[in-house]
């Protein structure tokens, strides 16, 4: 969970085990954004919102780092960390 203030909204953001990243305005309980992270990247284990609230980055248990543009609500970058866990088939 992350809390941040945009000036006009108090937003509580959270990530679920189903890959959803949701932001809720705590003043009126209204959803502000909703992102669906790729489930092939596995469970979200960490995320961070930049100070200007223009991007959000999530890290997953398999070593992926996905960066979301909060203005356009698009995943702009997805990459695997070089030491990411390789999946066994």
Q: How many CA atoms lie within 13 A of 15 on its CB side?
A: 21
Please state the φ and ψ torsions of residue 13, each to the nearest 5 degrees.
-110, 145
Distance CA 65, CA 77 (A): 8
Distance CA 7, CA 20 (A): 24
Helix (H) or strand (E) holding 64: strand 64-69
* pLDDT recorded at residue 89: 40
| Number of domains into which the chain is organized | 1
The CATH number of the domain holding residue 11 is 2.40.10.480
* pLDDT recorded at residue 68: 93
Tens-binned pLDDT, residue by residue, of the chain (89 aa): 888 888 888 999 999 999 999 999 999 988 999 999 988 888 999 989 888 888 999 999 888 999 999 889 889 888 887 775 655 44
* pLDDT recorded at residue 5: 84
Residue 7 in any domain: the answer is: yes
Residue 31 in any domain: the answer is: yes
Residue 89 in any domain: the answer is: no
Residue 87 in any domain: the answer is: no
* pLDDT recorded at residue 9: 87
The boundaries of the domain holding residue 60 are: 2-80
Residue 85 in any domain: the answer is: no
Residue 24 in any domain: the answer is: yes
């Amino acid at each position: 969970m992350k809390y941040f203030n945009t000036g006009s909204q108090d937003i509580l953001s959270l990530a679920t085990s189903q890959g959803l990243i949701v932001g809720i305005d705590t003043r009126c309980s209204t959803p502000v954004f909703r992102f669906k992270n790729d489930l092939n990247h596995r469970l979200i284990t960490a995320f961070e919102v930049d100070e200007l609230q223009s991007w959000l980055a999530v890290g997953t248990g398999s070593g992926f780092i996905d960066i979301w543009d909060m203005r356009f609500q698009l995943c702009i970058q997805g990459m695997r960390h070089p030491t990411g866990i390789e999946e066994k088939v």
